[in-house]
Amino acid sequence: MNKRIFLDPLFKNNPIPVLALGICSALAVTVKLEPAMVMALSVTLVTGFSSMILSLLRNTIPNRIRIIVQLVVVAALVILVDQILKAFAWEISKQLSVFVGLIITNCIIMGRIEAFALYNKPFPSLVDGLANGLGYGIILIAVSIVRELLGSGTLIGYQVIPQQWYVANGGFYENNGLFILPPMALIILGLIVWVFNAKNAKRV
Amino acid sequence: MDKGKRNGNIYTIVYAALMVTLVAALLAFASQLLKPRQVANMMAETQQTILRSVHLEDQPYEKYITDTVAGPDQLPLFICTLDNGTRKYIIPLHGKGLWGPLWGYLALDDDFSTIYGAVFDHISETPGLGAEITTLFFSDPFRGKSLYHGDQFVSISVLKQGRSQNNPNAVDGISGGTLTSRGVENMIRESLKPYLPFLKHYE
């Protein structure tokens, strides 16, 4: 049961390509691999713990302010993540800028709380939240590897494509600037959606 | 707990009040705990930016830079003493770009006219266009330019790309980033104005 809760959001029901949630930040923070990894980790922690906390509270929450209670818990966690990044990962928090704050509005989080955490025990809810965050993270990392490698020739800041290949050094190669711009993220994401749809169609 | 009680007004209000107080206390505590590190990070970044304006990146700040104030209005000024003893005067700049604030530092030679170095930064200029003001491509040509034409203060003009050749009072702007380029031009002129009496005094 828990294994299925964990594996389902990674592949079969991945939040980005299958459920089309969290697209906005997937386009914005995937220029470089490192911020994408930090973003993936932040979202995973927030989805996991907000689902667990709200599952613990699920039998006490007044029905009429249900959504507000969810928002307060999510917002508190996001502010904590933002403050911790500012204290311990200044450069990355600058690159992620407003997108950390916007984790609050990431549909994956509220979606998993409403659809799962409010009806399930804390541990499965934690697993479900973490898995959905990881499912989001896998896509973010996949997109950012392609974009950083082809757009900047580096991975996590390390030069991967040999310097002597570049035209400037007498070679034949040039970085493709289009990969740094948001439209290319949408195209790569489209390709990933294609792969997922093709696979899921076969299974049905 | 049964459903009826959970929907009552008093229960709802008390629940909301308690939850909000708890969360606020938690966040306030976290903020207090992390503040010193955040302030240190911010300071370190400002110091690095100031050092970049005199081409001394990653050098110890205290060794080269003295914080001071200029004139009766107590304007902030940073004095940099290079290894060979020459002094550079660094003036902070503040202005607005197309979408949000711009800022930067301008380092002057001791004739208070020749620019020794410049750095610019921004919050929300367009990536690839206005945001390019942070790159050396934009800021390096400021080096060696002059704020005075004869003894007239003319500041630095940011002109259309390719127009600034052989002009000691102008640099190239960014194609497609005209409004941000103009923002930089205004920022330099307006930020330097209050310093002019002081700069004259040193001439």
Position A176 confidence tier, pLDDT thresholds 50, 70, 90: confident
**Burial zone of B28 (CB within 10 Å; 0-12 exposed, 13-18 middle, 19+ buried):** exposed
Judge whether residue B36 has pLDDT over 90: yes
Q: What is the pLDDT of residue A107?
A: 83
Pick from A117, A36, A33: nearest CA to A74: A117
Q: What is the pLDDT of residues B176-196, one digit of tens each?
A: 888 999 999 999 999 998 888
Could you report how far apart the first and last alpha carbons of chain A are, in Å?
21
Judge whether residue B40 has pLDDT over 60: yes
Contact: B12, A61; criterion CB under 8 Å: no
Average pLDDT of the residues of chain A:
87
Ordered strands of the B115-122 beta sheet: B65-70, B75-81, B87-96, B101-108, B115-122
Q: What is the pLDDT of residues A16-49, one digit of tens each?
A: 888 778 787 788 888 888 888 988 998 999 999 9
Contacts of B19 in chain A (CB under 8 A): 69, 72
Q: What is the pLDDT of residues A62-88, one digit of tens each?
A: 988 999 999 999 999 999 998 998 999
In angstroms, rounded to a whole number, what is the distance separating the alpha carbons of residues A123 and A13? 20
Q: What is the pLDDT of residues B110-140, one digit of tens each?
A: 888 899 999 999 887 876 678 889 888 899 9
| Residue whose token pair is 């979202």 | A43
Q: Which residue has the higher pLDDT, A11 or A120?
A: A120
Give me the mean pLDDT over the B154-166 stretch: 85
A189-195: long-range contacts, CB 8 A cutoff, minimum separation 24: A189/A16, A189/A17, A189/A23, A189/A26, A189/A27, A189/A139, A189/A143, A192/A16, A192/A17, A192/A139, A192/A142, A192/A143, A193/A17, A195/A17
Contact: B16, A83; criterion CB under 8 Å: no
Give me the mean pLDDT over the B99-116 stretch: 90
Least confident of A5-14, A132-141, B104-113: A5-14
Q: What is the pLDDT of residue A203?
A: 58
Judge whether residue A50 has pLDDT over 90: yes
CA distance A171 to chain B (A): 23
Cβ neighbour number for residue B61 with a 10 Å cutoff: 17
* Backbone region of residue A19 per phi and psi (left: phi > 0; alpha: psi in -120 to 50; beta: other values): alpha
Q: Answer for the pair B112, B202: CB distance below 8 angstroms, yes or no.
A: yes
Q: Answer for the pair A122, A52: CB distance below 8 angstroms, yes or no.
A: yes
- Among A62, A69, A87, the residue with its CB nearest the CB of B34 is A87
Q: What is the pLDDT of residue B26?
A: 95
Q: What is the pLDDT of residue A137?
A: 92
Judge whether residue B1 has pLDDT over 60: no
pTM to 2 decimal places: 0.74
Q: What is the pLDDT of residue B19?
A: 93
Q: What is the pLDDT of residue A123?
A: 93
- Among B15, B23, B34, the residue with its CB nearest the CB of A83 is B34
Pick from B96, B98, B116, B97: nearest CA to B106: B116
Q: What is the pLDDT of residue B162?
A: 78
ipTM field: 0.74
In angstroms, rounded to a whole number, what is the distance separating the alpha carbons of residues B39 and A109? 31
Judge whether residue A124 has pLDDT over 90: yes
Question: Which of B1, B20, B41 should one mutate to test binding to chain A, selecting the residue with the greatest count of A CBs within 10 A?
Answer: B41
Q: What is the pLDDT of residue B203?
A: 47
Contact: B1, A59; criterion CB under 8 Å: yes
